[in-house]
Amino acid sequence: MLDFLAQTLAGKVPTQTAGKNTHLRWQWWDEGIWALTPHQSVEKTLVLSAGIHGNETAPVEILAQLVDSLLAGELALQWRLLVVLGNPEALRSNQRYQHSDMNRMFGGGWQQFPESIETQRACRLEHALDLFLAQSEETICWHLDMHTAIRSSYHPRFGVLPSRTTPYDEAFLSWLGCAGLQALVFHQSPGGTFTHFSSEHFNALSCTLELGKAQPFGENDLSQFEQTKQALQALLSGETPPAAEGEPLRYKVAQQITRLSDDFVLHMSAKTQNFTAFPKDTLLAEDGDTRYVVKEDIEYVLFPNPHVAVGLRAGLMLREL
């Protein structure tokens, strides 16, 4: 039986690049990119991706288990499905990235970075989505991009949704709650993420799923994400997902902290968790004459990272909806 993850990590073109089973046809498109199509006609398209950052391995292991079940004929697929392991080279080395953060490169942003493995890969992933989605006639199109956070979090499982000009479908948001997400964060401005690319260019309902904290292969406690896995299994096979434990809290981005120079200082400890609350007027960061201060009565920090490259986001501040 084919082993999706092992084959990708081996870095070789598989001896068999297409096949079928009782439920579906599959085709290897590129390294870590597989298309799976049900035999029956369907009206739904789904992109499942993980490993955009190579040290975020729990979602990769979950995705690999799902794909192996599909290839073994254990799940009756109800979507046209594109499966993507984003950065195989970084996965092999257990590094977040080799040269530059690929999740800042989509929507053509890769052209603004020095050429590297990541810029080449971002271009190839855009092309793969274009081939898979641009000619799609399906009425429903979802993209779920699975990550883990660098820091621990008061909400261990949460979703980040790109800005879009039309409202999110409530059925999509409800499913995210069934997948065990405890919070949803709504962006208010464009970004270079994989999910923003699929949302903006193909009108996909897209979400970045943050599942726990980054760990090397073999050190993940996947039982923490069993509800997410069960929801994905149910989604793929058209079954009812597990009931949500509660409605996810909803947050909106209030401001972004950007590292403007080498003088940047983030006034948070390395142990500050995601969704830590800060009261109004708290000084969050300084960069020369630029000061980042809490403007709302309470703001919550997300993705604080003082070590990003100059010009990139060093954190987001949220307010609860």
Q: What is the CATH number of the domain that holds 229?
A: 3.40.630.10
Give the residue numbers spanning the domain of 221.
Answer: 4-237
- Residues 182 and 283 occupy one common structural domain: no
In a domain, 244, yes or no: no
- Residues 124 and 66 occupy one common structural domain: yes
pLDDT of residue 147: 95
- The residues annotated with a catalytic role in the active site are 210
Which tokens is 113 given?
């970075």
Name the domain boundary from 177, 210, 237: 237
In a domain, 65, yes or no: yes
Please choose, from the candidates 295, 292, 276, the residue with its C-alpha nearest in 3D space to the C-alpha of residue 284.
292
- Residues 212 and 271 occupy one common structural domain: no
pTM, whole model, 2 decimals? Answer: 0.93
In a domain, 243, yes or no: no
In a domain, 246, yes or no: no
User: Is there a binding annotation on residue 53?
Assistant: yes
* CATH number of domain containing 289: 2.40.50.630
User: Is there a binding annotation on residue 39?
Assistant: no
pLDDT of residue 139: 76
Name the domain boundary from 176, 209, 237: 237
- Residues 198 and 297 occupy one common structural domain: no
Name the domain boundary from 183, 204, 237: 237
- Residues 225 and 293 occupy one common structural domain: no
- Residues 113 and 188 occupy one common structural domain: yes
Q: Across the chain, which distance is largest between two alpha carbons, in Å?
A: 64
pLDDT of residue 54: 93
In a domain, 247, yes or no: no
pLDDT of residue 197: 96
Q: How many domains does the chain have?
A: 2
In a domain, 245, yes or no: no
What whole-number distance in Å separates Cα of residue 122 and Cα of residue 98? 13
In a domain, 80, yes or no: yes
- Residues 179 and 308 occupy one common structural domain: no
- Residues 125 and 93 occupy one common structural domain: yes
pLDDT < 70 regions, the chain: 1-2, 135-138
pLDDT of residue 212: 80
- Residues 206 and 276 occupy one common structural domain: no
Please choose, from the candidates 124, 135, 115, 134, the residue with its C-alpha nearest in 3D space to the C-alpha of residue 85.
124
- Residues 109 and 83 occupy one common structural domain: yes
